[in-house]
Amino acid sequence: MSNWKGIAGVMLVFILGVITGSIISPMIWRSQIERIMRAGPGPMGHMIVDRMSEDLKLDKGQREQLRSIIQEMHGEMEKVHRQSFPLIKDVFDKTDIKIIAILHPEQIGKFKELIAERKEHEKHGEHGGPAGHGEPWRPGPEDMPGR
């Protein structure tokens, strides 16, 4: 009989891990994507320009043109993100409903609190929602004289 208790305990831990992972993983994934989008072309743009400048031996004029292209790409990506945000939000809302369906009554209240926190962040644009804004292009190391 004690074997069954051990097996049941392991199964319970596994099931709770799956539930926790299914709640937290989408939040983390979405947060990372939105952090990159909010950062603007700065950090990623500088990395792209640096790498291509080095690999292709770009001159100063080419680097300036590449920065402009990267900045334009970021603007287009931000526009696509804003257009697709309602669709993405709908997917998350449907997922929330499915998760609630598998929770025990005492878990539903806590999950709804998590949803409310997420929606509050989205309302203020803290996670790339409609109010989120990218940062302007900032000069990087490749803009220094002699480069």
Asked whether residue 121 carries a pLDDT value surpassing 90, the answer given is: no
The tens digit of pLDDT for each residue in 15-67 reads: 888 787 777 777 776 666 666 555 555 677 788 888 888 999 999 999 899 88
Percent helix / strand / coil, the chain, rounded to 5 = 80, 0, 20
Name the residue with higher pLDDT: 29 or 145: 29
Q: Are 135 and 78 contacting, i.e. CB atoms less than 8 angstroms apart?
A: no
- Domain ranges across the chain: 2-41+70-135
Span 79-119, pLDDT tens digits: 888 888 888 888 888 988 999 899 999 999 998 888 888 77
Q: Distance between CA atoms of 145 and 42, rounded to whole angstroms?
A: 19
Whole-number average pLDDT of the chain? 76
The radius of gyration of the chain's CA atoms, rounded to the nearest angstrom, is 22
Handedness of CA 102, 105, 111, 112 (dihedral sign): positive
Whether residue 136 is predicted with pLDDT greater than 60 in this model: the reply is no
Supply the pLDDT for residue 22: 73
How far is it, in rounded angstroms, from Cα 59 to Cα 83? 36
